[in-house]
Structure 1
Amino acid sequence: PRGVHLYSIQQRDADVLIAGEQGALFRSEDGGQRFVELETPYPGTFFGVLIIDSDTLLAYGLRGNAWRSADRGANWEQIDLGQPVTVTSGKVLLDRSILLADESGRLMRSSDAGRSFKPVEGSFPTGLTGLAQGSDKAVVLSGVRGLTRVDPAQLVAESR
């Protein structure tokens, strides 16, 4: 619809979510057989959406925009990430915390299901494009400069 680019697909059981330009979010509850568009208050690009639990979603994108829904996408609240830097990737970690990465190399972590985020201590490469977590709980960052492994002990969020 509307000729928008789509950037991310996220699946959990039969739920499938797709994020894209112009605030586009699409959800399927039947494993991708049929999609409906979720209305969002944000008209900018979403580079990703995370399924936090059966009801909670977190969409993120341009200029540090992050939006959270606690009711499967019916209503949305904006989450303050502290800087207007594009968020390029996100991951729900094995411990159920949430990690977001922005294009400046900043990692932000949430321990409250995406209600708030704190920056992770340390220096990480700029131009981050993806996050993955191994069974050893280490996180692998992908970006324009290749791959970087981050030990789980380094994923400590700073207190504000």
Structure 2
Amino acid sequence: MNRIRQLGRLLLALTLPLSAPWCLADGAAVDTAAVGSPLSTAAMQVAPSQKSVLIDLARAGERLVAVGERGLVLLSDDNGQSWRQAAVPVSVSLSAVQFVDARNGWAIGHAGVVLATRDGGESWVVQLDGLRAAQIELDTAKAEQAGAMDPDAAEARVQSAERLVADGADKPFLALEFIDAQNGLIVGAYGLALQTRDGGATWQSVVGHIDNHMGMHLYAISRQGALWFLAGEQGYLARSTDDGASFTQLDSPYEGSFFTLQSRADGALLVGGLKGHAFISTDAGASFQPMPVPMPVSFSDAATRADGSVVLANQAGALFVNRGEALQFLGRPLGKPVSSLIEAADGSLIVAGFTGLLRVPQPATAVSE
């Protein structure tokens, strides 16, 4: 399991909160507490004045939802001006959240946890954890081994799944994409990928349907109708042309890791990653053109705004807007790392990071610097 050594510090910054019970030991990401404890312990209540680590943001209708360290979930019904904490049954750090409407949403995170809500984030239930996810992958790998066209690859997959089971619930999910209240895909470390067709009541491993033989960590998902895209470590990019049923790896314009993947309203695909590398594709991933960036700082997230433009954020707190083939500064850098951003219903931008949440009421217009 020395593959985790290939993760850069940025991944750890984005997905392993500073105060969460995760650390580096001999280059490996490990849980320093008993795995059963955070999975069975409810998230602690946090004082409103405390600057907590928030990792991802989503919209549930007009409501804003933020997730972060140790099971923290915050809700805002006034476009980010005030927040309150929701009750969550686990205390593992949550790395991503998504809603398909004002009521139905999911959050994923460490220890392979998947949480679901049916009331706009007021309450959450555990649908999956890393122990069950690893066992699902092992059972699927063994079942598909007999008919595999590449016996060596099939055996390697079974061995990898056996290691996942032996390791326990210590592998994080990092990205999710639900198209409605029933159908969704979640991906994460070591290429782990599961799919549901019944709102998360049951899950199926789809590792064997993704062209990712090296088991690259998968950090981002984007969808354009029947076209789906994945991005991950070491420049990994993949595309599905059959509505997510299978993925084929794409030629990548960069060998460094990609951490954000966003589709623009006109169908253009933007991808950003380490050291400020960003690329755009206007032909559904067949080719990518570089977008010059004046800051060699890694990108962390991107969001599509109501006007169709895309805003990208980097680890220096700089925001960039894209409407054509280039990136432009969106106001001055915020001066603090940004892990996620989203546009609120009133047009303001909400950003999350290691120092909590920040609301930018009326983002400045794009400027050239």
Same fold (TM over 0.5): yes
Q: Mark the CA change 1:78 to 1:15 in structure 2 (over 3 Å): closer, same or farther.
A: same
Residue 365 of structure 2 aligns with which residue? Answer: 156
Q: Mark the CA change 1:110 to 1:138 in structure 2 (over 3 Å): closer, same or farther.
A: same
Q: Is the 8 A contact 2:265 2:309 kept in 1?
A: no
Q: Is the 8 A contact 1:54 1:72 kept in 2?
A: no
2:220 matched to 1:8? Answer: yes
2:273 matched to 1:61? Answer: yes
2:232 matched to 1:20? Answer: yes
Unaligned runs of 5+ in 2: 1-211
Residue 116 of structure 1 aligns with which residue? Answer: 326
Q: Is the 8 A contact 1:57 1:69 kept in 2?
A: yes
Whole-angstrom distance in 2 between the partners of 1:159 and 1:73: 28
Deviation at 1:60, TM superposition (A): 0.5
Q: Is the 8 A contact 2:349 2:363 kept in 1?
A: no
Amino acid at match of 1:29: T
Deviation at 1:139, TM superposition (A): 1.5
The equivalent position to 2:305 in structure 1, one of 78, 93, 100, is 93
Whole-angstrom distance in 2 between the partners of 1:55 and 1:111: 11
More helix by share: 2
Structural RMSD (CA): 1.7
Amino acid at match of 2:269: L
Deviation at 1:90, TM superposition (A): 0.7
Residue 354 of structure 2 aligns with which residue? Answer: 144
SS of aligned partner of 2:339: strand
Deviation at 1:122, TM superposition (A): 3.2
Amino acid at match of 2:366: A
Q: Mark the CA change 1:141 to 1:97 in structure 2 (over 3 Å): closer, same or farther.
A: same
Residue 261 of structure 2 aligns with which residue? Answer: 49
Whole-angstrom distance in 1 between the partners of 2:269 and 2:304: 11
Deviation at 1:30, TM superposition (A): 2.8
1:105-156 C-alpha deviation (Å, 9 max, x unpaired): 10111232xx1111122342522111111221111111111111112x2231
Q: Mark the CA change 1:77 to 1:9 in structure 2 (over 3 Å): closer, same or farther.
A: same
Residue 31 of structure 1 aligns with which residue? Answer: 243
Whole-angstrom distance in 1 between the partners of 2:255 and 2:341: 25
Q: Is the 8 A contact 1:93 1:99 kept in 2?
A: yes
Structure of higher RCO (CA pairs closer than 8 Å, 6+ residues apart) = 1
SS of aligned partner of 2:367: coil
1:15-70 C-alpha deviation (Å, 9 max, x unpaired): 22211011111222333211111111211100011112565211100000001111
Whole-angstrom distance in 1 between the partners of 2:215 and 2:287: 25
SS of aligned partner of 1:88: strand
Same amino acid, percent of matched pairs: 32
Q: Mark the CA change 1:62 to 1:123 in structure 2 (over 3 Å): closer, same or farther.
A: closer
Q: Is the 8 A contact 2:260 2:300 kept in 1?
A: yes
Unaligned runs of 5+ in 1: none
SS of aligned partner of 1:22: helix
Q: TM-score, normalised by structure 1?
A: 0.89
Whole-angstrom distance in 2 between the partners of 1:56 and 1:111: 10
Whole-angstrom distance in 2 between the partners of 1:44 and 1:34: 24
Residue 75 of structure 1 aligns with which residue? Answer: 287
SS of aligned partner of 2:275: helix
